[in-house]
Structure 1
């Protein structure tokens, strides 16, 4: 059976034995929309088929069997282009910079109040603020990407990071993509990021290392 999200149209083949007999809540791995699967009803021969959802409810899933066996997956979704992703990154940079200014100012004030003025205090605060800003930026990217595949910048532009098979990214893969992969992409004079502009699937080097795609919703 093919379970199809009524919002973004993502389809996923589900083994019959995994289909619930009664109504269930389903979360789409692409757009994170929660919709209802109406359950299955018995048919002659001992098997089951999905119950027909009421036509008045748009929240019910559409379950159907494709006659040619084809699937709609993340690989068939439109990839997000280079400039769209750059714009999303700029939005994220602005948001994180605002948070860094506020929290960094408070941290600096607390450090001077506790340690007193002097060049040693200044050097220590510069090092501490640098580490704090780096940790905040990396945590921001890994958390949002692992949680829902979308940083706030990507949410605004309706693009999402998913695995190549359409499943959610998850935190371990998000760490590989956002920290390790992007470090390598940047260390190669930014070539890993520029690959997005020329790659057929719009994958940067960090996407290939983590086996992820950035798609339009």
Structure 2
């Protein structure tokens, strides 16, 4: 004896005398689920099969409990055609048994060409009610009213009070009432809306696209700032202005990137397009540039909420909206969702590169933490070395008496000798520059003005300048750790006096191999 499988269908209707605001919380409690989940996962897609089983008595027990809560459910046999999705009001409903669709069509509640799609398929086709051929009647011990009325499932009722598959065409059933406040809005659920991790992957790719040029520009500014500082220049307010302009450009660039792309023809940034999602209004329409602008700057509020909860709401709410989506009344949906077209029936799987993009930010954060630790260790090591070098210098006390603070007098003498040898090696190059500067002054009456590099590792930069007749040659020593600390970033300057070059230096004269003030 064949066993007939049945499905318990939640129609989304409430029984006469009941109030929907009380029925659905009671039904959620009966099913032991959160009311919000009942609304998002069941009512948003009603009519929908909530239970399929070979045990008819068990399904009738569930039906009785739903009836006590005030919800209308129906029992339907699952035939060889199985279950299908139905497009009602341009919104996918179900899945429901094909026999349920046939009943609705025969009763006149739905047109015979209503669009259906098999479970697991996104191909919609018209449903044509089969001819009223005699159906196989199940044995008495398995027989059930296929469209069992939930008004009083346990008691016999007149045939006119029951909803049957063979209902007369002139007695249409009540259509499923839309949820309060949902008219014109996209339905809730994971099939329509992109969740947190898919959006996070898209944002990671967009951040990478924007971050690379911004990082290069910022790195260049930092490099120029350090270069100016180590050369002894005073950049003044110029670098402050450049940093300010950089941050303004970063904000404006990010705003135009997101607003133009999300309000454009594809309704998506490159990251969103890669992930197959786009931004729409809550009714599925393309948004304007103004709304996209508001959505971008609303992210400031999203970022202000602690622990990233403002972003995480994109994984928790029915329409997967973060705070800025709620403020701008927008949704992030799958590419297949289009106004005036049937809704998809299946959720696209996450592509493999989406998971890679989700992992990358955490990898970068880990590498950044490691790099920061290495940098701090190097910095502290350099400060320790500097402290040892300072300890090797002779510092006079306030009374004018020299007290040696060197850890080793032999080490201090060795540094002094090394500096003198190194500076002696730059003297030929300086002498040649002095002759060149004197000739330029004699021939043009003006001082040579130039900045030059040197192949000598002790020299960081050479500057020729001054105002005639007081021409100057300034040698700025290198900041390299290859030379003793006492000579790093020091300055030695020669000034033309009309007959000779006078020397002055920021270094202790005891380190110089020639007389200098």
Pick the TM interval, shorter chain.
0.5 to 0.7
CA offsets 1:16-66 (integer angstroms, 9 cap, x no match): xxxxxxxxxxxxxxxxxxxxxxxxxxxxxxxxxxxxxxxxxxxxxx9x9xx
Displacement of 1:105 in angstroms is 7.2
User: Are the structure 2 counterparts of residues 125 and 11 from structure 1 closer, same or farther at C-alpha, using a change threshold of 3 Å?
Assistant: farther
Q: Which residue of 2 aligns with 1:150?
A: 268
Q: Which residue of 1 aligns with 2:187?
A: 75
Q: CA RMSD in A?
A: 3.8
User: Are the structure 2 counterparts of residues 72 and 130 from structure 1 closer, same or farther at C-alpha, using a change threshold of 3 Å?
Assistant: closer
In terms of fraction of residues, the more helix-rich structure is: 1
- Give 1 or 2 for the bigger CA radius of gyration: 2
| 2:305 counterpart (188, 208, 214) | 188
- Structure 1 segments unaligned to the other structure (5+ residues): 1-9, 14-61, 110-115
Displacement of 1:119 in angstroms is 3.4
Displacement of 1:216 in angstroms is 1.6
Distance in 2 between the 1:170 and 1:73 partners? Answer: 18
Number of residue-to-residue matches in the alignment: 152
Question: Residue 75 of structure 1 contacts residue 164 of structure 1 at CA under 8 Å; is this kept in 2?
Answer: no
- Map 1:153-168 to 2 at 5 A: 153-168=271-286
Q: Which residue of 2 aligns with 1:55?
A: none
Question: Residue 267 of structure 2 contacts residue 278 of structure 2 at CA under 8 Å; is this kept in 1?
Answer: yes
Distance in 2 between the 1:155 and 1:119 partners? Answer: 45
| 1:122 counterpart (239, 248, 254) | 239
DSSP 3-state at the match of 2:261: helix
How high is the TM-score relative to the length of structure 1? 0.58
Distance in 2 between the 1:157 and 1:97 partners? Answer: 19
DSSP 3-state at the match of 1:75: coil
- Structure 2 segments unaligned to the other structure (5+ residues): 1-86, 91-123, 127-174, 224-232, 336-517
Q: Which has the higher contact order (CA 8 A, sep 6+)?
A: 1
- Map 1:3-82 to 2 at 5 A: 74-75=186-187, 77-82=191-196
Displacement of 1:81 in angstroms is 0.9
| 1:85 counterpart (170, 187, 199) | 199
DSSP 3-state at the match of 1:79: coil
CA offsets 1:168-190 (integer angstroms, 9 cap, x no match): 011111111111x2111112223
Question: Residue 149 of structure 1 contacts residue 160 of structure 1 at CA under 8 Å; is this kept in 2?
Answer: yes
Distance in 2 between the 1:132 and 1:12 partners? Answer: 46
Distance in 1 between the 2:333 and 2:278 partners? Answer: 5
Q: Which residue of 2 aligns with 1:96?
A: 210
